């Protein structure tokens, strides 16, 4: 049985003060939550403060990006070592907003995934098709390339630490959720690709989250699908009650 993982991607929201308030509100309900892995991914500037809030709880902290390099002249970048110093455990990599607005490509995303694993951080690799891809019948083709390229050179043994997030771009922040059947279909497809790449055991172990307008009222249906192992939550993660509601739906 794969343990469900619910992560809140706060994106470019929350000052330090607001982040502490949100983390404290989540902590009241989820400090001891052991049945689901709970991860909060604040902006870089609030990571330290959020880590302090959740330090003696089972709640994990994640970052929204990470450099592929160890150290040096990379203006504006943050390394794995710097994140680990702040008790970050997970890193979101290859989010569609980074692919779209900052031109991140599979080559660099793969370098980050490999680096994160080498540094004992757990990557959350985001994949997903644009609306035009889906309408043209190219969903599987697009997702397959992102999975194969993003996970190139990742050994089978690493898949227990790795999370894949399927986020159809047309469902992000739009209020349009993939139906549970649409999501399940792609999740099963992704698991099949992993099986082909590194074998059945790794495919059975890897957790695949759904992301895209997940809310407390649709979470249960999505999370009850056999290949949906959690959620990567944007908008609804900015409100403690909504986020807690989604985590509870995963219990
Ligand atoms: P929304 O939940 O706001 O659709 O965002 C999903 C997402 O992009 C999480 O990474």
Domain spans of the chain, in order of start = 5-249
Per-residue pLDDT tens over the stretch 17-66 = 999 999 999 999 999 999 999 999 999 999 999 999 999 999 999 999 99
Bridge partners of 232, per DSSP, are 7
167 is catalytic: yes
- In the predicted structure, residue 177 carries a pLDDT above the cut 90: no
Measured at the CA of 205, the angle between CA 150 and CA 32, to 5 degrees, comes to 105
**Which residue has the least CA distance to atom 5 on ligand 1?**
234
Q: Is the CB of 172 under 6 A from ligand 1?
A: yes
What is the CATH number assigned to the segment(s) 5-249?
A: 3.20.20.70
- Whether this prediction's pTM lies above 0.95 is answered by yes
Q: Is the CB of 168 under 6 A from ligand 1?
A: no
Per-residue pLDDT tens over the stretch 88-139 = 999 999 999 999 999 999 999 999 999 999 999 999 999 999 999 999 999 9
Region class of 2: left (phi > 0), else alpha (psi between -120 and 50), else beta: beta
187 is catalytic: no
- In the predicted structure, residue 87 carries a pLDDT above the cut 90: yes
Per-residue pLDDT tens over the stretch 126-144 = 999 999 999 999 999 999 9
- In the predicted structure, residue 152 carries a pLDDT above the cut 90: yes
**Which residue has the least CA distance to atom 1 on ligand 1?**
234
CA of 206 to the centre of ligand 1 (A): 21
| pLDDT score of 119 | 98
Give the pairing type, strands 88-93 and 60-63: parallel
CA 45 to each of CA 85, 89, 94: distance values in angstroms, whole numbers, following the listed order: 14, 16, 20
Give the pairing type, strands 207-210 and 122-127: unpaired
| pLDDT score of 73 | 98
Q: What letter would DSSP give residue 179? A: P
**Which residue has the least CA distance to atom 2 on ligand 1?**
234
Residue 78 · residue 63 · CB < 8 Å: yes
Q: Is the CB of 237 under 6 A from ligand 1?
A: no
Q: Which atom of ligand 1 is nearest to 235's Cα?
A: 3
Residue 115 · residue 150 · CB < 8 Å: no
Going by C-alpha positions, the residue among 126, 122, 131 that lies closest to residue 147 is: 126
Q: Is the CB of 235 under 6 A from ligand 1?
A: yes
* Test site for ligand 1: of 11, 64, 177, 215, most ligand atoms within 8 A of the Cβ: 11
- In the predicted structure, residue 175 carries a pLDDT above the cut 90: no
Per-residue pLDDT tens over the stretch 190-237 = 999 999 999 999 999 999 999 999 999 999 999 999 999 999 999 999
């Amino acid at each position: 049985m794969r343990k469900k993982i619910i992560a809140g991607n706060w994106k470019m929201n929350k000052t330090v003060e607001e982040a502490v308030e949100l983390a404290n509100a989540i902590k009241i309900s989820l400090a001891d939550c052991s049945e689901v892995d709970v991860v909060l991914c604040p902006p870089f500037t609030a990571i330290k403060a959020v880590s302090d809030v959740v330090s003696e709880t089972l709640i994990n902290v994640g970052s929204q990006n990470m450099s592929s390099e160890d150290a040096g002249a990379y203006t504006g970048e943050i390394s794995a070592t710097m994140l680990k110093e702040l008790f970050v455990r997970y890193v979101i990599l290859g989010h569609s907003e980074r692919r779209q607005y900052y031109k991140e490509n599979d080559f660099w995303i793969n370098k980050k995934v490999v680096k994160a694993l080498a540094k004992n951080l757990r990557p959350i690799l985001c994949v997903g098709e644009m609306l035009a891809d889906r309408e043209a019948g190219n969903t599987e083709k697009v997702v397959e390339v992102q999975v194969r390229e993003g996970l190139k050179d990742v050994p089978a043994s690493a898949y227990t630490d790795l999370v894949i997030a399927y986020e159809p771009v047309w469902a992000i922040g739009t209020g349009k959720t993939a139906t549970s059947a649409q999501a399940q279909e792609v999740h099963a497809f992704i698991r099949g690709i992993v099986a082909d790449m590194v074998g059945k055991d790794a495919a059975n172990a890897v957790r695949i989250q759904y992301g895209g307008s997940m809310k407390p009222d649709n979470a249960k249906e999505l999370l009850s699908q056999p290949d949906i192992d959690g959620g990567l939550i944007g908008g609804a993660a900015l409100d403690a009650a909504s986020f807690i509601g989604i985590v509870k739906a995963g219990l």
